[in-house]
Structure 1
Amino acid sequence: MKIFSLLLLLFIGSLSFTQEESFDEMVKSYYKNTVPLIYPNQLYKKMLSGEKIYILDAREGKEYEVSSIQNAIHVGFLGFNTRKVSDFDKNKTVIVYCTIGARSETIGEKLQKDGFKDVYNLYGGLIYWKNQGYKVYHQKDESSFVHVYSKKWGKWLTVGKPVY
């Protein structure tokens, strides 16, 4: 019985989370849950539907220049001010993203405070978007490169080529 118990403990101890479960834990540790989440498949369906939505990229310029979601509008993070979106219809859906969703959640909070009614944070950011098989673009051309902000976050990119 002791050998069985020991083997069982060794087996259980050797189990590890899958890459996606670990990514989920990491992402959730950064979220404050102040902005509703939208998942890549949900955003993609909205994009295909033709619904008028605003997709905002809350990364810095050097990150945005590497690649972005098609038709995303760069608003940045450090210098973000709601005046950048003052001509947007506040009743339309706004989806904000960054690398993993932490900075975009902060931008989403600012948009909510400014009166935007339907604001979402893209779960897992551009890393998760790309890992789920969705395309990113450099200007108008499809790209395999994703600016991953740092090596700490870059390890989570499983599809595509990281840029630091």
Structure 2
Amino acid sequence: MKYLFQILISLFCLYGLHGQSKIDQALRIFNNNSVPYITAERLTGNTRFLLLDTREKEEFEVSHLENAVWVGDKISDLDRTYNIVPEKNTPIVLYCSIGIRSEDIGEKLIKNGYTEVYNLYGGIFEWKNKGLPVYDSFGQKTDRIHAYNKHWGKMLNNATKVYGHRKHNN
């Protein structure tokens, strides 16, 4: 099933996904709005949220939102999340590349009693497309974003795209 989903995503991306409106289209198709969205504009400068990065470790190491904590994108990574966020009323914003993997993790958190969980609309791609800053593993601002793969990378317009070291990189 996992591979079927990846094939469907790749086919979807092959037919011209790029830019902001394509992020909107992808989210309408692949998400079910089970986790409320928060926009980049609403999140900018707002320090009340704990930011959790639900991408693979390699993606996080290239760049991430300032003060974000990496938790991973697998169900097995949820124990790490529970240890990082033991208080279930902590305001949380989850993000990934565009918001699909983060919705999956958000659903699990909500199911397990977390009360204030949001999904960053458009993920780190939209964040960077809007010219907002991202930081590397040394805490320095960077223009680099791990673009997941070349198909999804078409949605990233305002960054230096990085590929590599992913098991399923296309």
**Corresponding residue for 1:156?**
155
Choose between structure 1 and 2 for higher RCO, CA contacts under 8 A separated by at least 6 residues.
2
> Could you tell me which amino acid in structure 2 is paired with residue 160 of structure 1?
A
Relative to the length of structure 2, the TM-score reads 0.79
From the superposition, tell whether residues 129 and 98 of structure 1 become closer, same or farther in structure 2 (CA, over 3 Å): same
Instruction: Give the distance between the partners of 1:114 and 1:102, measured in 2 at CA.
Output: 19
> Could you tell me which amino acid in structure 1 is paired with residue 153 of structure 2?
G
What displacement does 1:96 show?
Answer: 0.3
Q: Which runs of 4+ in 1 moved over 4 A?
A: none
Relative to the length of structure 1, the TM-score reads 0.81
> Could you tell me which amino acid in structure 1 is paired with residue 67 of structure 2?
N
Matched, 1:43 2:51: no
**Corresponding residue for 1:56?**
52
Query: Number of residues paired by the alignment?
Result: 144
Secondary structure of 1:80's match? helix
> Could you tell me which amino acid in structure 2 is paired with residue 92 of structure 1?
T
Instruction: Give the distance between the partners of 1:82 and 1:46, measured in 2 at CA.
Output: 27
Instruction: Give the distance between the partners of 2:149 and 2:131, measured in 1 at CA.
Output: 21
Over the aligned positions, Cα root-mean-square deviation in angstroms equals 1.8
Matched, 1:84 2:93: no
Please, which runs of 5 or more residues in structure 2 have no aligned partner? 1-17, 164-170
Among the aligned pairs, what percent are the same residue? 40
Greater shift, 122-131 or 88-97, is seen at 88-97
What's the CA shift string for 1:101-148, capped at 9, x where partnerless?
000000001110111100000011110010011100002100100011
Whose radius of gyration is greater, 1 or 2? 1
What's the CA shift string for 1:31-78, capped at 9, x where partnerless?
11110000101111423xxx2x21000001111110000000000012
Instruction: Give the distance between the partners of 1:33 and 1:154, measured in 2 at CA.
Output: 23
